[in-house]
Structure 1
Amino acid sequence: MVDTVENARTTPDVVQPWEALGLKADEYARIRDLLDRRPTGAELAMYSVMWSEHCSYKSSKIHLKRFSELPQTTPRGPLLAGIGDNAGAVDIGQGYAITFKAESHNHPSYVEPYQGAATGVGGIVRDIMAMGARPVACMDALRFGPLHSADTKRTLPGIVAGVGGYGNCLGLPNIGGELVFDSSYYGNPLVNALCVGVMRHEDLHFAKATGSGNKVILYGAATGADGIGGASVLASETFEADGPAKRPSVQVGDPFMEKLLIECTLELFHAGVVTALQDFGAAGISCATSELASAGDGGMHCELDLVPLRDPTMTPEEILMSESQERMMAVVEPADVDAFMAICGKWDVQATVVGEVTEDDRLIIDWHGETIVDVDPNTVAVDAPRYDRPQLRPEWLDGVQADHANNLPRGHDGAALAEAVVAVATSPNLADKSWATSQYDRYVRGNSVLSQPEDSGMIRVDEQTNLGVALSMDANGRYAYLNPYFGAQLALSESYRNVATTGAQPVAITDCLNFGSPEDPEVMWQFTEAIKGLVDGCKVLGVPVTGGNVSFYNQTDGINILPTPLVGMLGVIDDVRLRIRQGFAHAGDTVLLLGDTKQELGGSAWEDVMHGHHLGGLPPFPDFDAEIALGKVLQAAAKQQLVSSAHDLSEGGLAVALVESCLHGNHGVSFTLPTDLDPCAELFSETQARAVVSLPPQSVAEFTTLCADAGVPVRELGEVCGDQLLEARGFFTVQLDELRQQWQSTIPEAMQGA
């Protein structure tokens, strides 16, 4: 028997499975108050997924409001779309707009690595499509437990294959990201995906159901029983190390259907037959209908019987909760329906009119001729509970910060320093990542200018003018563990610096905030400190937050992950032909170090690798004024074509920057260590706002004048050489061929037999 609205009014005492659907007692009571009756089964399903942590942001929304303090402009122009839209959109000049966003798919990727990661890519691509843009590139930031652990050997191959398999089939280049290992991610890998799209200003669209009588069309794949409550419920659950007892199905992706959906959608927009568009992500039809209706100027009436199904036995509750992939919902004027259907037919994309926009403020859904949903869509999509959860600075933090890495023993002789350089450079987090990135197509579409292993990815936007954009994704959970305020700012700093190092101008960010359980006051303190750090940092840098994602409940057996606020930075470059690569390019070039070096080993890669994963002290201190000055120097140097290479200093400090510049450019380097600090600190300190550049000797005077005018400290380190060696004069010489072999083998050897 169908549980209708009328039946719900006359049977108030029916016991309902609200707790099994993830609702709290007070939340269920609030639903009854809003409806002035008990919910039907379909309404209960809808509220449960839309009020989940993943969909409603009920523990984070009051803190995310702080991002509204930031100016809604970028250094390049107005912010065209921002927080609350499917994705942020930025004016980059010449009539072009860039839309970009990052999201998480952490828990589904643990349950089913391949499909979890693949559908994470698919979901973020549809967010970009929904804005009216053509997706042009993807990035991914992945985090796992220890490299040699059984959990990593289970999840890493599938997740990398899922990211590559889906993106490659879509014909989207994967141009950058991260691959990080730490014990805190054991049993809870992080899969953060970013997509960037390009459009003309006039092509920008918003998800708002307007115009009474306009038709609601569901198009794309049929609805199946996969992913019922998938991302919305999984992202609001914690895991046990052995795996959860209750696992909703993970969505199953079909990238070939998504490719058709992309081309079909772009033609629909170009034909002018779409009034509004919403992608299907977490919460499926529940989300698409309620969000479109709540954002519009009326209500919506839908016939659930009209939804094409892959499984005809599905109940209405299952249809509403299904997170089947490759689906979109459009609002179309009646006169345009035939043209809309014709375009869908051309692309072999199934399309069905399932309802229409109404004058009133109700969302009404019928099934078998009876009403099973009659709600105010705002109560579903907008008015979910808002929690100001308790926050508590951890008592253990003082002890951790007092145990500073600066006080750890360190070697000063040449042999000890050489050993440390090799150990740090070949450690899992800094070793060659091509085992993963070689599975991604980095050059499809022909507009990839920079990709892994460069500091940032870069895409050409206009083939005539060579206008382009650069993107970087960065986070450091070790820093954020020691100080979440600074940790978030350091992620912002590195992402800003990585983009600037290519010669691009940083203009805006998206974020992906990965934390443990919000019901833990210490986690909420970490989260709110990270938000404050990002807001304060963005104010100084002059970049807005365009949107992003919050992922809570990242814990296993009660152990929270390291707080991991990730920042995706967008930069603009007027001519991609002037971009700067990170590898040493010419023997005989002079090598310069930009920025001051301080003794800052807290949270460093040296501390992690050389002292048994020790983590103590304070992280490096951000210096946004210095970052801005460094960025201006590098942008000017790119325009004037003064430098041959540039590499930021971050994890691993000067040592790793030099190693990577050598290995990526296939040249050696001979350098003299500065003597302001002891040689270990000079090599491995992770002081911010620094970079290594190489340039022809005849350009040094002009470049140093640039630095002096900007107030950027500069000192000569040495020169690029043709010999395959890394020579620290007076200390050690490392043969690059031997180092390269170890650097390249770290991850492949660990993955043998995985």
Structure 2
Amino acid sequence: MNLEETYRSLGLSDAEYARVRELLGRTPNFLELSLFSVMWSEHCGYKNSRPLLGRFPSEGGRVLQGPGENAGVVEVGEGWALAFKVESHNHPSAVEPYQGAATGVGGIIRDILAMGARPVAVLDSLRFGDPADGRVRYLFREVVRGIGGYGNPVGVPTVGGEVEFAPAYTGNPLVNAMCVGLLRVEDLMRSRAVGVGNRVILLGARTGRDGIHGATFASDELSGESEARRPNVQVGDPFAGKVLIEACLELRRRDLLVALQDLGAAGITSSASEMAAKGGVGIEIETDRVPLREGGMEPWEVMISESQERMLAVVEPERVEEVLKVAARYGLGAAVVGRVADHGELRVLCGGEVAGSVPAEYLADAPAYEREVVEPEYLKEAQRLDVEEIPVPGDFNAVLLRMLSHPNLCSRRSVWEQYDYQVRTNTVVGPGADAAVMRIKGTKLGYAVVTDGRGKWCYLDPEGGGAATVAEAYRNLSCVGAEPVALTNCLNFGSPEKPAVYYQLARSIEGMSRACEALGTPVVSGNVSLYNETSGGAVYPTPVVGMVGVLEDVSCHATPGFGREGDVVAVVGASGRASLAGSEYLEIVHGRVAGRPPEPDLALEKECADRVRRLIAEGLVDTAHDISSGGLAVALAEMAIAGGVGVEVEVGSGRRPDVELFGEAGGQILIAVPGERWDEVREALAGVPWQIIGRTGGGGLKIGGFVDLKLEELRGAYGRDLFAEETG
């Protein structure tokens, strides 16, 4: 293979190769080209998204660490802080779903560990094609198995997430994993290498050939050849991951570490070059000192291997023996593989000879591209929707049951029952609610976490959909009583080299940024996953938001299930905004994805959600649920099913009944209040729109003269097993 074929096969463009030569002032060797290829991949270098990401607000009163580290960190109170981040493992999961999902969980856990935090909660946001397709069912089943297969034995509860299905994801599923970690503020660690002469220690599993060029693979479109790239998918070991967690936490407690970094995409190369660049120093790695799982590995393979359950630590020379002793006591592999130097380069040595050397700042500073932005041709046509052309159903009972049994709206119990969501006994409200609620033992404090994504809405209106995604996460946290404080995001899009896709990316970021500013929720970490497409086209533009909220008193929280007979049921938020545009009803019942969904009224959204949250904190409301996918009828059915108590409501705005029952808009929250406390609630809601629509009671759901179903019928439809049934 000649040099031109070499750099192209590694994913570098002609212009990028020319820049490498210009930076080095010479022709790079194969090892050095390999370093550039992984660090300048989209997965590691954010080449096409970095110019846009600066739009996100990243500062706030509780923010201790914003973007630029392994995870963002926010202060909770009483000296406690939360580290959190979400990342994608889409391409690996498409070709090896079990290990792709498992190592996605393992990787995000190590990002949190690198901040000095104990990983305490995992969430996942998943997208698949039509589950009637046999391969889609296989991918779905194995991804869920992989999440549980890693999260359960590693001892970190999987407490929430979301699953959606649409044909746009058939060839390219989305597997996003979020982790939250708990730490004392004074224990916050960063990954900046300092101290010339300090040692570099590799902790954890031995290094093998699994995952080599995984970062490059994750930066390509999926094709028929992707199946042959299974070796690019890492293999996880959750039991080794558990040992690594406990050993690293002890090293942190004993103040034995200068810096700590996860080995994820691009392996030692990424960790060492980023640590060196942040500290303004160099790092030398001796590849023949790296413990190997298999013989005959070349230095370039050692440097870019993505073998799992590994961390890179910077340690002062006089503390090396203590670190090695701690590792030995845990049965954890540990080896001194290098040192911090003053030359500013990532220098690779083998047998005492230099195999390659590149300034660390060059590797950490991938080229950035601002692409052409062109509005997609499909958009104007897709946004057209004449509701009068949509026939009004004759049997609303049948429509509601059909919607409740649809894969996008039915119970996720068959998914989350495969996860251990109570391990460590800190889960107060688990999967199935608007958000998960966790306690901090020894305090009254709690926190809530949620993931949300509105891919279909972003497809129909990228900017409005981006804003709606952030607003929904804010609303969901408020529904359990948590004050939203910050978010992480994972931006899943197609090829940015296509102007229409870059338009979706740029507009979605604009909408999200606008919502973050209006709602006061800065972005403290995140991930970008591009090239999510196949020959069949790109996935829906799917920005996923993982948001964290704080509860001053975790005992004052709300859940979505009706718990008492005779409660007043009211809607808080603006009425009359619901629309069939982009709704689940329009797609499930009428087979259309069309219209322009209503943009959120961010100021009103914030005020209404904040009022509901205060009612929960004051003990006036303990039942709340947002009206989202499926509209009012589906939300009421979910609340009745969750609590085992029926409800009877009236709708009477004069609008079409299908719009009233199944239209979607966001910005509305259902609450149930004991009758004797309604006057207090009404007083507290002064200044925001609200409307009493009915009362709880009975054994079913009644909505005016349109819906009359027993709880058993609702449960029968909603409780379908996603793994046992095919969908037509």
TM range (shorter): over 0.9
Instruction: Choose from 551, 556, 564 the match for 1:586.
Output: 564
* Distance in 1 separating the partners of 2:37 and 2:682: 60
Cα distance change of structure 1 residues 44 and 357 upon mapping to structure 2, 3 Å threshold: same
Cα distance change of structure 1 residues 621 and 169 upon mapping to structure 2, 3 Å threshold: same
Instruction: Choose from 502, 507, 531 the match for 1:553.
Output: 531
SS in 1 for 2:570: strand
Amino acid at match of 1:618: R
Query: Which stretch shifts more, 338-347 or 266-275?
Result: 338-347
Query: Displacement, 1:241?
Result: 5.9
Query: Which stretch shifts more, 246-255 or 533-542?
Result: 246-255
SS in 1 for 2:582: coil
* Distance in 1 separating the partners of 2:526 and 2:487: 9
- The aligned residue for residue 517 of structure 1 is 495
Query: Which stretch shifts more, 210-219 or 683-692?
Result: 683-692
Structure-to-structure mapping, 1:549-628, within 5 angstroms? 549-597=527-575, 598-612=577-591, 614-628=592-606
* Distance in 2 separating the partners of 1:696 and 1:555: 50
- The aligned residue for residue 220 of structure 2 is 237
Deviations 1:95-120 (A, max 9, x none): 11111000000010011000000000
Instruction: Choose from 321, 345, 350 the match for 1:367.
Output: 350
Deviations 1:159-190 (A, max 9, x none): 00000110001111111110100000001110
- The aligned residue for residue 374 of structure 2 is 392
8 Å contact kept, 2:38–2:304: yes
SS in 2 for 1:314: coil
Amino acid at match of 1:20: S
Query: Displacement, 1:239?
Result: 1.6
Instruction: Choose from 629, 634, 637 the match for 2:607.
Output: 629
Deviations 1:581-640 (A, max 9, x none): 00001112111111122241111111111111x111111221111121112212211122
- The aligned residue for residue 95 of structure 2 is 111
Query: Displacement, 1:242?
Result: 7.8
SS in 1 for 2:7: coil
CA RMSD in angstroms comes to: 1.6
Structure-to-structure mapping, 1:720-739, within 5 angstroms? 720-721=696-697, 723-739=698-714
Deviations 1:679-715 (A, max 9, x none): 211111212210111111001111011111xx22111
* Distance in 2 separating the partners of 1:254 and 1:468: 31
Query: Displacement, 1:248?
Result: 4.2
SS in 1 for 2:528: strand
* Distance in 1 separating the partners of 2:624 and 2:38: 47
- The aligned residue for residue 447 of structure 2 is 469
SS in 1 for 2:54: helix
Amino acid at match of 1:104: S
Amino acid at match of 2:59: Q
TM-score, normalised to structure 1, is: 0.94
Matched, 1:671 2:649: yes
Amino acid at match of 2:414: W
* Distance in 2 separating the partners of 1:245 and 1:347: 37
- The aligned residue for residue 392 of structure 2 is 411
- The aligned residue for residue 308 of structure 2 is 325
Query: Displacement, 1:40?
Result: 1.5
Amino acid at match of 1:34: L
- The aligned residue for residue 9 of structure 1 is none
Amino acid at match of 1:515: F
Amino acid at match of 1:278: Q
Query: Displacement, 1:663?
Result: 0.7
Cα distance change of structure 1 residues 243 and 373 upon mapping to structure 2, 3 Å threshold: closer
Q: Which runs of 5+ in 2 are unaligned?
A: none
* Distance in 2 separating the partners of 1:138 and 1:600: 34
- The aligned residue for residue 150 of structure 2 is 166
Amino acid at match of 1:199: L
Matched, 1:493 2:474: no
Query: Displacement, 1:32?
Result: 1.4
- The aligned residue for residue 36 of structure 2 is 47
Q: Which runs of 5+ in 1 are unaligned?
A: 1-11
Query: Displacement, 1:319?
Result: 1.1
8 Å contact kept, 2:204–2:333: yes
Query: Displacement, 1:509?
Result: 0.7
8 Å contact kept, 2:96–2:230: no
* Distance in 2 separating the partners of 1:99 and 1:56: 22
Query: Displacement, 1:751?
Result: 6.1
Query: Displacement, 1:151?
Result: 2.1
SS in 2 for 1:577: coil
Instruction: Choose from 4, 7, 13 the match for 1:18.
Output: 7
- The aligned residue for residue 717 of structure 1 is 693
Query: Displacement, 1:265?
Result: 0.4
Query: Displacement, 1:655?
Result: 0.8
Structure-to-structure mapping, 1:415-454, within 5 angstroms? 415-454=394-433
Query: Displacement, 1:247?
Result: 4.8
8 Å contact kept, 2:58–2:66: no
* Distance in 2 separating the partners of 1:162 and 1:674: 47
Matched, 1:296 2:275: no
8 Å contact kept, 2:404–2:717: no
Instruction: Choose from 57, 60, 64 the match for 1:80.
Output: 64
Amino acid at match of 2:704: R
Identity %: 44
Cα distance change of structure 1 residues 210 and 407 upon mapping to structure 2, 3 Å threshold: farther
Amino acid at match of 1:691: I
Cα distance change of structure 1 residues 587 and 441 upon mapping to structure 2, 3 Å threshold: same
Query: Which stretch shifts more, 241-250 or 583-592?
Result: 241-250
Amino acid at match of 2:641: L
* Distance in 1 separating the partners of 2:217 and 2:7: 16
* Distance in 2 separating the partners of 1:422 and 1:626: 32
- The aligned residue for residue 53 of structure 2 is 64
SS in 1 for 2:555: helix
- The aligned residue for residue 197 of structure 1 is 181
Amino acid at match of 1:590: V
Query: Displacement, 1:240?
Result: 2.8
* Distance in 1 separating the partners of 2:574 and 2:519: 20
* Distance in 2 separating the partners of 1:259 and 1:169: 8
Structure-to-structure mapping, 1:532-547, within 5 angstroms? 532-547=510-525
Matched, 1:269 2:252: yes
